[in-house]
Amino acid sequence: MKRSRPSSCRPIFWWLGALAAGSLCAGANVDHFADNGYGNVLSTLQHPAGEHYQGVTYVAYQGPHEDPYVAAYVHATGTWIGPVQAGINTMGKSPDQIDKGELDNHGKPALIVDRQGYIHLVFGSHGGEAKYGPNPLGEFFMGTKGKMTHVVSQKPGDISAWRTLDNIPPFGTYNQWIKLANGDLYLFYRHGGHRSDWVYQKSVDDGRTFSAPVSVLKHKVSAASPTVDDSWYAWFDQGKGDTITASYVYHPCANPKHNAQRQDTYYMVMDCRDGSWRNVQGQSLAAPVTKEDADRLARIEVTGKDRPSHGTTHVDAEGRPQLCFPFAQKVRYYRWDGKAWQKPVEVAAGMGHVNDGDFVVDSPTTTRMILGLGNPGRDEVGWWKTTDGGRTWAKDAVLISSADQSFQTSAMIRNAHPDAQMLLAGVNPALGHLYRPMYLVGEHGPLGRPAASYLGERLEQIKSLPPPNTAKAEAKRKKKAGLGDDEP
């Protein structure tokens, strides 16, 4: 079903002045900036979800129909622009569903601002569909769907109008942007379903054209068993200078079916000057990296029965990596001290359900991490800090808390302003729909605005939908056996 932008969400740019004056739907201030996040709105995997650029923080998230939405916060005036719909995710269903099992949730947008100030989003795919042609670097597996889509703002710094650039393959999942100091853009993603290579494409002209995909992590039938395929979950970020770091976990994908297994943690780094990869000790890794070479040269820890998920990685001023990997309801921190990997440490141990998060490296031994904590009767997102290289952690300021909702977290905002460091979505299971309030939090808590709704007629449209199929959802949950909603 072909969809166009709903009239209730079309950008009306008289609002630039109206918002600056705080006159749009004037009402009491609220701590969220939008109420139209939808489904599993955010993940640290699709990143960055926002960037601070020339005094404005731009953020992107999954909105109604799983379409990408963008909003902008002007720090000098303390005002919001948007949110506006920036494109169409072909995986969305109309009307918006109330059964979370009907959502794919893999098409969330990642955002970057190029050196000219144009805003880019990539979104909309869970491996891509076979109708778009053969996938040379991956497989169509478990109903891959959607089309990876690249849109760019029509004017620098202006989120009111967007155009599509047909310059990337349709077969992506887990889209991740990196921008080097010289302005070169790298787009990393998995090139299809589970049994696909992780790749990158490079642009030296602000995203107008890209090189062909270059494979980084190799998918193949496992040497250990013909019924397992070597697969991966990976997270890429800028390292020191002209380098890009990669942290990842191994996924032994059962063949012909699928499983939820994840194991072992890995790290390596790319020299962008020649595209070569090396491990933390400087030994070369031939790309695309196989399971055998990863185990031999890049593995940090054999995790055994503990199941890690994709993590986040940053480096200190010397280029030494620090990593954070979620393990079920825990988060484990790793640090390279220049000679060896320190013993991993559980952050916020004994504090209840610890959700995914991200961190900032202030010095080789001082690191601050934003984590979500879930406990009966109170969920919160706040800082944890170490000053001894991660050996011990202390709780610091709480950024937001709630008695009736939990919070989904993004990765850190790129080039973050102190007042706007992470994007959050609130999840209240008591509500009869899947719309979420959106928050941008920083040193002084959430950046709110006068109360307004951006849902239009949507709450009315979903009233005719049948209730969620709880039996089907429970069967799906058991089948996925601990797999997160964002990782089917």
Alpha carbon 204 to chain centroid, angstroms: 24
Q: Choosing from 174, 250, 435, 439, which is the catalytic residue?
A: 174
Tell which residue, 37, 58, 9, 51, has the closest CA to residue 158.
Answer: 58
Query: Distance between the two ends of the chain, CA-based, in angstroms?
Result: 24
Degrees to nearest 5, angle at CA 432 with 58 and 377: 80
Structure tokens belonging to residue 464: 């005719």
Q: Choosing from 32, 52, 106, 194, which is the catalytic residue?
A: 106
Please give the Cα distance from 106 to 409 (Å, whole number): 15
Structure tokens belonging to residue 129: 């569909």
CB < 8 Å & 24+ apart, contacts of 461-467: 461/95, 461/96, 462/95, 462/96, 462/97, 462/98, 462/433, 465/95, 465/97, 465/98, 465/99, 467/98, 467/99
Tell which residue, 14, 8, 2, has the closest CA to residue 34.
Answer: 8
Element (H, E) at 435: strand 435-442
Q: Is 404 left (phi over 0), alpha (psi -120 to 50) or beta?
A: alpha
DSSP state of 213: P
Is 106 an active-site residue? yes
Instruction: List residues with catalytic annotation.
Output: 106, 174
